[in-house]
Amino acid sequence: MNALVALCHFCELHGPRTLFCTEALHPPSPDPSSQVGTPVPGDRDGDREGEGLTMKANSSATQRGEMCEGCRSLPASHPGFVSIDDETGIRFLSHQHPRQSQLFSVVRQACVRSLSCEVCPGREGPIFFGDEQHGFVFSHTFFIKDSLARGFQRWYSIVVVAMDRIYLINSWPFLLRHLKLTIQSLQSTALKVFDSEQGVCPQRALRMNSVFSPAVFPHQRSGNAARSLTSLTQHPNLWASLHCSFSWLLKACGSRLTEKLLEGAPTEDTLVLIERQTEEEEEMSCWEGAEGFKSQLHQSENKMGLDFLCDASKLDELPCPKFRSLRHLRQVFGANDFRQLAWHVLMGNQVIWRSADPGLIHSAFTVLKSLLPVGCVRSVPYSPQYEEAYKCNFLGLSPDVPIPAHVSSSEFSVLVDVTVRSCQVSCEDDISRLYQFTISSANTQPTDRGPTLLNKLEVALSNENLSVDVVSHCLLCLKEEWMNKVKVLFKFSKVDGRGREDTQKVLALLGATGPGEEENVRLLKYWMTGLSKTYKGHLMTAVRGGERSPSQ
């Protein structure tokens, strides 16, 4: 990651100062004229081999002027720290100040702003600021307990400086989550030292009983107006620990987001997945404490795996027996029952499965969810009780869970009951010989007319000359075709607010009229709910901009 992490401190005597910073140096491009394999003199001196990173001393010491103990991190004779990423060759250098004068100016300005004008309410927490000239800054301010300081606490900040604004904003949840862990570790360590010092000599009572003089206030505290962070935490390897933490942060944040070449604009499924992943990260960042974070992270990964990554590769991990594809599901159910089930899925009705085998239900849902855009999928793979349709359109239940009367009599739901025929289960056995599937629904509307997407899909499924992969690509093309129609209809009816007559003309232009027109319109309206927030927001912004432009 092309960024720099710095720890800053507001000194009572000298104001905002940079205490410690870590920067990443990328390896230079190879020079063809140089000799291959020529060792660099002294390159192995003082090496300490680690796992993935190599620690060694930095021979270039930064010149520094006079400063107090609170403004100094490493001793004047300390060379600094260097970590080398063995995979990429990137070097992570840590010292009190950056080596380059330009970076020194950028970090100095970020330090001053983070501890003066650019603070969030309460003076503790994250904030983002910056510009194209001086770089963009993610800053997190916090307090450290000190029994000898004004108000018994000192003010610090950790800043991440980068020139890429979009990258830094996208990394906000990741940076916030891990910087909080570092800050909480510093605060908890300093709090223990604070409590022990207060137990020996309570400063609050001592100050209330002494004569206060602002001019000599620093000297009234035994001449120790500015204490170092090492003194506040009593951590002997504090700066080495911060170097490792900052180096890992730069490495992990850089490898977390990668550029990917896309042919054309991202699909709606991609946008929805990105939005859901962002929401998950924001929810995780709200949890405080390492244990709560780990638990939430584990739950999030499980949820992401069940709800979002429903592709063919996940089917291989499920135990047998299972449905392998849409064609396999159609062969087990038969053409008529499969069409009825797929019709309910495409219309947005709730699909309920009752079975004693959660793996079988999971495989069925994985296959059926491929019929819908990702934004239309709300799945509960297996539940001990019934869940309402507004919570999920795919619901798996155990056989003994009763279905409410208003659901069983509703035309907007379909129930698949799975009963066991044979107790001997094998992957080679046909599912139809192991289980009996009974489909029931109160829907009286015929399902053999449309929608058009289902008609075309059944033609592909019934053609044995087409492989499963070819049918999957055919379904993907059909979904993209109808999602484009959904976008046009959404823009025309919801954004522009056109009337029924004009909407009917658009439907005819989109090829949604004729046989199965009612099912086509119902599918289009249902799929509108699967549009990404990014696309909807883009349309609304464009419309508002168009409305303002004539008056300007």
pLDDT tens string 308-320? 334 445 555 666 6
Taking CA atoms, 351 is separated from 104, 207, 384, in Å, by: 61, 71, 16
Backbone angles phi, psi at 499, to 5 degrees: -80, 180
CA angle, residues 95, 175, 135, in degrees to nearest 5: 65
Q: Which of 257, 256, 288, 258 is nearest to 177 (CA)?
A: 288
Query: Residue 80, Cα to own-chain centre: how many angstroms?
Result: 34
pLDDT of residue 351: 93
* CA R_g for the chain: 32
Task: Tell me 491's DSSP state.
Answer: I
Give the pair of three-digit tokens for residue 326: 């849409």
Secondary structure percentages of the chain, helix, strand, coil, to 5: 45, 15, 35
The b/e string for 467-504 (b: 16+ C-beta within 10 A; e otherwise) is eeeebbebbeebbeebbebbbebbbbbeeeeeeeeeee
pLDDT of residue 157: 92
Range 326-447: architecture per CATH:
3-Layer(aba) Sandwich (3.40)
pLDDT tens column, 134-160? 889 999 999 888 877 777 788 899 999
Collect the ranges in the chain with pLDDT lower than 70: 1, 29-67, 70, 76, 201-225, 258-265, 283-320, 422-429, 494-499, 542-552
H or E stretch covering 277? helix 268-285
On whether the CB atoms of residues 434 and 457 are closer than 8 A, the answer is no
Query: Residue 514, Cα to own-chain centre: how many angstroms?
Result: 44
- Residues 408-413: contacts with CB within 8 Å, 24+ apart? 408/440, 408/442, 409/442, 410/442, 411/349, 411/441, 411/442, 411/443, 411/444, 411/445, 412/349, 412/350, 412/443, 413/344, 413/349, 413/350, 413/351, 413/352, 413/389, 413/441, 413/442
Taking CA atoms, 265 is separated from 268, 271, 530, in Å, by: 9, 10, 17
3-state secondary structure of 188: helix
pLDDT of residue 194: 82
Domain ranges of the chain: 3-27+77-201+227-255, 326-447, 468-545
The b/e string for 11-46 (b: 16+ C-beta within 10 A; e otherwise) is beeeebbbbbbbbbeeeeeeeeeeeeeeeeeeeeee
What is the per-residue DSSP string for 13-34?
TTEEEEEEEEEEEPPPPPPTTS
pLDDT of residue 155: 85
Q: Which residues lie below 8 Å from residue 259, measured CB to CB, with a gap of 6+?
A: none
